Amino acid sequence: MAKPIPVSPLARPLPDLSTVAGVRLSAVAAGVRYQGRTDLMLAEFVPGTIVAGVYTKNACPGAPILWCRQAQTTPYARALLVNAGNANVFTGRAGIQACEDCADAVSKLLDCPPQDVFLSSTGVIGEKLPQDRIIAALPAAQAGLLEDNWAQAARAIMTTDTFPKAARRDVTIGGKPVRLQGIAKGSGMVAPDMATMLAYVATDAKLPQNVLQSLLASGCAQSFNSITVDSDTSTSDTLMLFATGLADNPAVDDVNDPALAEFTLALNDLLLELALLVVRDGEGATKQIRVEVTGADSNLSAHRIALSIANSPLVKTAIAGEDANWGRVVMAVGKSGEPADRDLLSVAIGGTWIARDGGVVENYDEAPVVAHMKGQDIEITVDMGLDDGQARVWTCDLTHGYIDINGSYRS
């Protein structure tokens, strides 16, 4: 049996969570893999709830990803079922059958079409999902549905996570109050296209699917697609947004409607908060790292350069060791394959410019940089000096804890 994983030193407590009108949740122990803890989350949505989703681009996706993509061809959702401990990935026809069986069982309990049931699984790859255990636990899950079970739901979907993750925002649309609340899990196998990482957000706002999908895709680009723990893209990454429509906001049919401005900012902010909680729980992490690239050939180029820095084992281990080795940042810029000119490059750590225009700053004092490296939140800034492309990504350091966790993951 694997050793208990210590709570990340970067952990954050759960915020003050509330309820979202039209959403009830439960968390039960199905014994999928773990013993002595909840591992199955069921969310029930009021009839008429609209759904949007963004899923992994990994070419070997899990059966639940295929199920959700197909289910989302209609706009409605009545339930979300998530299990931890088994990813239902690389399980062939048995995996598809497991999804069909679980969706059918939930649909009978809630009297809805199976395609209105959305599914996620997270955990070990390549092992058949014991759907009989999940289905046997569904009556208890239905009986336990409550509006205020968000914290319990966040804990039930954890795998190697060391703390539950949630966020909440209260805003208005057209002067009418609406709420956004979400949970996430993830700590390893996290890299863009999507951030294993699952995130679910619900709102009582009344919005059509095309608007909801556009908002989610845009928000994902700035959050879950701008974080990386280890450069490995999960087979199960899922980000979903459910809108129950029970708020009294005016009708909105255009994503650019000014009435949506506050809601859009709040959604983007909530998604970024959840994404950064995933980074803060990066396996073995002791430091959160923000990498900002400016002056690049384009925004896309800046994003790729930032990821090259954020994914560099040499950069990440230097930061773990609190070594202000900025030469590794230069190396990572150069290996990105993006346009770069050594003689225009500038590098800063913690707001202190170390190199300007291809050379070390005259009379550079390393003391403030060394002090910055001892903190938990590290900032790296690179200016390429080429054009106005810019990007920002977040990652964490790479410690021996990452090896300890992943070397015994199946134990």
Mean pLDDT of the 375-389 span: 98
Mean pLDDT of the 27-37 span: 96
> How many CA atoms are closer than 13 Å to the CA of 280, on its beta-carbon side?
19
Instruction: Please identify which of the residues 91, 160, 196, 381 carries the catalytic annotation.
Output: 196
Q: Is the pLDDT of residue 195 over 50?
A: no
Q: Is the pLDDT of residue 46 over 90?
A: yes
User: Is 228 annotated as a binding-site member?
Assistant: no
User: Is 406 annotated as a binding-site member?
Assistant: yes
Q: Is the pLDDT of residue 189 over 70?
A: no
User: Is 196 annotated as a binding-site member?
Assistant: yes
pLDDT, residue 188, reads 58
Dihedral, 123, 395, 301, 195 alpha carbons, nearest 10: 20
Question: Among 48, 64, 137, which Cα is nearest to 99's?
Answer: 64
196 catalytic per annotation: yes
CA-to-CA distance for 146 and 340, rounded, in angstroms? Answer: 55
% the chain with pLDDT above 70 = 94
- The single residue listed with the structure tokens 């906001």 is 249
Q: How far is CA 348 from CA 50, 352, 362, in A?
A: 45, 5, 14
Q: pLDDT tens-digit profile of 279-313?
A: 999 878 899 999 999 999 999 999 999 999 999 99
Regarding predicted confidence, which is higher, 402 or 147?
147
Q: Is the pLDDT of residue 392 over 60?
A: yes
CA-to-CA distance for 29 and 53, rounded, in angstroms? Answer: 26
- Answer positive or negative: Cα dihedral of 136, 142, 144, 145: positive
pLDDT, residue 5, reads 78
Dihedral, 218, 222, 223, 226 alpha carbons, nearest 10: 130
Q: Is the pLDDT of residue 65 over 90?
A: yes
State the pTM of this model: 0.93
264: which residues sit within 8 A by CB, 6+ positions away?
Answer: 215, 218, 219, 255
Q: What is the mean pLDDT of the chain?
A: 93
264: left (phi over 0), alpha (psi -120 to 50) or beta: alpha
Of 131-140, 170-179, 231-240, the least confident: 231-240
> What is the band of 403 on the pLDDT scale with cuts at 50, 70, 90?
confident
User: Is 172 annotated as a binding-site member?
Assistant: no
Counting every residue written for the chain, the total comes to 411
Q: Which two tokens stand for residue 358?
A: 């291809």
Regarding predicted confidence, which is higher, 58 or 257?
257
pLDDT, residue 194, reads 42
Q: Is the pLDDT of residue 192 over 80?
A: no
For residues 228 and 310, the answer to whether their CB atoms sit within 8 Å is: yes
Q: pLDDT tens-digit profile of 68-124?
A: 999 999 999 999 999 999 999 999 999 999 999 999 999 999 999 999 999 999 998
> What is the band of 233 on the pLDDT scale with cuts at 50, 70, 90?
low
pLDDT, residue 302, reads 98
